[in-house]
A = this chain, B = another copy of it.
Amino acid sequence: MSGDSLGKLFKVTNWGESHGPAVGCVVEGCPPGIELSEQDIQPYLDKRRPGQSQLVTQRNEADQVRILSGTVDGKTTGTAISLMIENSNSRSKDYSEFAKLYRPSHADFTYQQKYGIRDVAGGGRSSARTTAANVAAGAIAQKVLSEIGVEVLSWVETVGAIKSQLPIEQITESLVESNPVRCPDQNIAKEMEQKILEIRKQGDTIGGVVRCVVRNMPVGLGEPLFDKLEADLAKAMLSINASKGFEIGSGFDGTTMVGSEHNDIFYRDEDGAIKTHGNNSGGVQGGISNGMDLDFKVAFKPVATLMQKQKTVDLNGDEIEYQGRGRHDPCVLPRAVPIVDAMAALVLCDHLLRYRAYRA
């Protein structure tokens, strides 16, 4: 109930703090007989790993995952899979001063008020370090999804006001991975990179938008009322650190359209499949996937830790000044891409299993 689990049939239970011995998770519901080893998971963690480029935090974690249960001879057994990632490079000394104050737009204040105690080092449980375990779990979900050809693909759509111009159909994983920003539009990616470096030099940070498409979607995932596919995606995305918004298909832009413009018109394609002209629906209708690509966006605010002085209060509420130290991301977007991928894969895999339950 403390909310560390996500999913109903394919379920991940996350644990760990930024500067504890390790982070990890338990993955329930993975079908048996799937080939799975650490080598399947590690590439996803490497994408999320700090220290990849100048654009992200220089904290240097190897982020080696270990599978502690649920497989035998390199195959899943259908039982709970336990994953652990040791925290190799935790500098607890960096954080002692922060026990005495509440950093602006961090969780220091709310944790202290809620629990009466908090793990100060690295933000403890509120740290985005916890997403490493979700990325590892997401890698397993990707394995399951790949068996039916589903492809989850996220990228950086905007950094600040700079926006990718590449048509969505042209976007591939290799384009996304071809630059450190993870924007598939190479020219725009350069602009974004310069912007981030400039912001970094100012000791400041900047936000942006990650967009995700899921291709080769089966029809029928999602449930009528509360567990609509987009509702579960929204929850998963808003659970990512620093995310502030979610939209599917036309999203907020769609609110200014009229219905005759917004409706996606059905047609039969050359293969006899029923498709739609346009995808304002974003791949879901009535909460259930319609076979078109899923298409959604996640808003990320600028990172709260700045390398410049800010006013804030100490535990008594007295005004003080503080400045972030250590290794922090000037822009969370490039590292948010594999996290969005993972969360999307977790939600889809859960709904895939739920779908199967009703087929005799």
Contact = CB atoms under 8 A, between A and B. Distances in A.
Contacts of A302: 254, 257-259, 261-262
Contacts of A59: none
Contacts of A354: 1, 9, 357
A110 interface: yes
Given A2-B79, A205-B258, A265 B312 contact: yes
Interface residues of A, number: 159
| Copies of the protein in its oligomer | 4
Given A246-B245, A258-B206, A319 B289 contact: no
Contacts of A326: none
A98 interface: no
A285 B115 contact: no
Contacts of A358: 29, 31-32, 78, 353, 356
A239 B250 contact: no
B109 A317 contact: no
A319 B269 CA distance: 11
A281 interface: yes
B310 A117 contact: no
Contacts of A3: 28, 223-228
A197 interface: no
Contact of A301 (B235, B255, B260, B356): B255
A4 interface: yes
Given A302-B262, A313-B274, A4 B244 contact: no
B68 A20 contact: yes
B280 A105 contact: yes
Contacts of A236: 226, 231
9 contacts: A5-B5, A31-B360, A77-B124, A107-B286, A202-B258, A246-B247, A249-B301, A265-B311, A265-B312
Given A4-B226, A247-B252, 12 more contacts: A1-B9, A2-B78, A15-B81, A22-B69, A111-B224, A113-B291, A123-B286, A125-B224, A147-B360, A204-B259, A255-B300, A259-B303
